[in-house]
């Protein structure tokens, strides 16, 4: 099966197994602590049969993902890993997460925003847990690690790096921020959580669903995978059905963004000098020609962009169209807080506009107008000079990912 590697928190490499057809709706699977992605094998097969594309991830310190030398197994590291994966995916998945994985997913979606996923299934991820029970489980896993030293597919250090109490506090504080279809699955015989505690937790969500799997304890997916898979697929078909996504007025902004992402664009760096005559710039793909007579173009700049004030004040600005070999530059100028020009080859144009060296095209523009455009401002420039290299291929952006030209 295809294997995909993602770069997570602090550069940790995370390995995922991909199953199914990539054009089908995605489901991201997160296992629990002291497990690996192998626990999901029956569920992954059932999901593929039901027309879902499965992304089955090993958490850091588990299976084939990195076991960090620095022992970073705190919640922030795990959440950072998940956010990195979600931001790299071309579509928003339903997240199905067990135990530790469920805690990670809950915090990531609650604190980062529900726009990263289309649904959340929590599998016996206890919202409340007695400290004695937590220690009992931890001690049992440590004892197993001592007995099977060197043979276990997970790093025993994760048990000491993860603070259960503070994690549950963060989940309880922010769970109400998750505005997604939610299913909570509990083993009826689970020793980690109680029915009443789960019910209180579910009150934090909007229209959640609850499924209790009979004859099953904490390891629901292993003990009764047949009942669990049936409950999961039923939930998906009803709450996150397999149909073409549709945006209507009032829908969430991410759906509209995904629709607009179906239009492939090039990638540009918009540059200028600030009032201190220092170069500033940012990545933008909302760029188009406006007129040949007079020669006008436009770029759309988010009102939250740190460079917006400098661009408003600049009499001249540049638009630099990137080629396929300049993806690193695009990423650099898309991140805040970096000295972007220190690591980038550039030169001054005729009006001292900073221009990216070796770009596919450089446009030097006199500011013509600035128009309000909702959460963006539309910067219109009159082209006073342009140079270009037509023999290179452009850097493209489509459906949330960089692309390259394909010639049939």
User: Does a structural domain hold residue 66?
Assistant: yes
Residue 79 has pLDDT above 90, yes or no: yes
User: Does a structural domain hold residue 334?
Assistant: yes
Clarify whether residues 79 and 12 are in a common domain. Answer: yes
Question: Do residues 348 and 275 touch, judged by C-beta distance below 8 A?
Answer: no
Full domain range(s) for residue 378: 261-403
Residue 268 has pLDDT above 70, yes or no: yes
Residue 162 has pLDDT above 80, yes or no: no
Where is the domain boundary, 192, 216, 250? 250
Question: Do residues 378 and 300 touch, judged by C-beta distance below 8 A?
Answer: yes
> Tokens representing 278?
């220092």
Residue 282 has pLDDT above 90, yes or no: yes
Where is the domain boundary, 250, 272, 292? 250
Clarify whether residues 377 and 337 are in a common domain. Answer: yes
Question: Do residues 371 and 296 touch, judged by C-beta distance below 8 A?
Answer: no
CA-based radius of gyration for the chain: 25
Report whether the peptide linkage leading into residue 304 is cis, meaning its omega lies within 30 degrees of zero.
no
Q: Please state the domain count of the chain.
A: 2
Least confident range of 94-98, 128-132, 174-178, 237-241: 128-132
Distance CA 331, CA 333 (A): 6
* pLDDT tens string 328-352: 999 999 988 778 899 999 999 989 9
* pLDDT tens string 359-387: 999 999 999 999 999 999 999 999 999 99
Least confident range of 38-52, 249-263, 280-294: 249-263
Mean pLDDT of the chain: 88
DSSP 154: B
User: Percent of the chain having pLDDT more than 90?
Assistant: 61
Q: Where are the alpha helices (DSSP H) in 278-403?
A: 308-313, 327-334
* pLDDT tens string 11-34: 999 999 999 999 899 999 999 988
Residue 255 has pLDDT above 90, yes or no: no
Question: Do residues 355 and 321 touch, judged by C-beta distance below 8 A?
Answer: no
Burial category of 67 from C-beta neighbours within 10 Å (exposed 0-12, middle 13-18, buried 19 and up): middle
Give one word for 45, left, alpha or beta, with left for phi > 0 and alpha for psi -120 to 50: alpha
Residue 172 has pLDDT above 70, yes or no: yes
pLDDT of res. 195? 66
pLDDT of res. 408? 44
Clarify whether residues 34 and 181 are in a common domain. Answer: yes
Distance CA 13, CA 10 (A): 9
pLDDT of res. 132? 65
Clarify whether residues 12 and 147 are in a common domain. Answer: yes
Tell me the pairing of strands 354-356 and 119-123.
unpaired
Where is the domain boundary, 250, 272, 303? 250
User: Percent of the chain having pLDDT more than 70?
Assistant: 92
Q: pTM here?
A: 0.62
């Amino acid at each position: 099966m295809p294997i995909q590697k993602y770069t997570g928190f602090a550069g940790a490499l995370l390995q995922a197994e991909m199953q199914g057809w990539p054009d089908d709706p995605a489901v991201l699977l997160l296992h629990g602590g002291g497990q690996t992605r192998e626990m999901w094998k029956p569920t992954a097969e059932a999901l593929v049969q039901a027309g879902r594309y499965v992304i089955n991830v090993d958490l850091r310190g588990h299976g084939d993902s990195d076991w960090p030398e620095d022992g970073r197994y705190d919640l922030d590291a795990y959440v950072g890993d998940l956010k990195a994966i979600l931001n790299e995916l071309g579509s928003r998945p339903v997240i199905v997460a067990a135990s530790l994985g469920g805690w990670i997913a809950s915090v990531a979606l609650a604190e980062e925003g529900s726009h990263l996923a289309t649904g959340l299934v929590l599998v016996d991820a206890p919202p409340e847990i007695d400290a004695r029970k937590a220690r009992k489980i931890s001690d049992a896993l440590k004892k197993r690690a001592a007995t099977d030293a060197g043979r276990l597919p997970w790093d025993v250090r994760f048990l000491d790096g993860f603070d259960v109490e503070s994690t549950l506090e963060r989940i309880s504080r922010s769970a109400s921020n998750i505005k997604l279809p939610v299913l909570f699955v509990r083993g009826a015989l689970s020793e980690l959580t109680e029915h009443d505690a789960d019910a209180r937790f579910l009150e934090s969500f909007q229209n959640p669903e609850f499924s209790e799997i009979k004859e099953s304890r904490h390891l629901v997916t292993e003990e009764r995978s047949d009942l669990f898979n049936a409950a999961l697929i039923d939930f998906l078909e009803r709450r996150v059905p397999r149909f073409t996504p549709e945006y209507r007025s009032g829908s969430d902004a991410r759906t509209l963004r995904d629709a607009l992402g179906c239009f492939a664009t090039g990638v540009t760096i918009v540059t200028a000098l600030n009032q201190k005559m220092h170069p500033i710039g940012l990545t933008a793909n909302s760029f188009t020609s406006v007129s040949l007579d007079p020669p006008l173009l436009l770029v759309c700049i988010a009102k939250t962009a740190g460079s917006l004030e400098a661009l408003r004040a600049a009499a001249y600005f540049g638009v630099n169209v990137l080629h396929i070999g300049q993806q690193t530059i695009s990423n650099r100028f898309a991140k805040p807080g970096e000295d972007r020009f220190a690591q980038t080859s550039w030169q001054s144009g005729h009006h001292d506009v900073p221009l990216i060296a070796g770009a596919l095209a450089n446009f030097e523009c006199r500011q013509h107008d600035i128009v309000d455009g909702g959460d963006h401002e539309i910067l219109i420039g009159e082209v006073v000079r342009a140079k270009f290299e037509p023999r290179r291929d452009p850097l493209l952006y489509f459906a949330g990912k960089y692309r390259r030209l394909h010639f049939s």
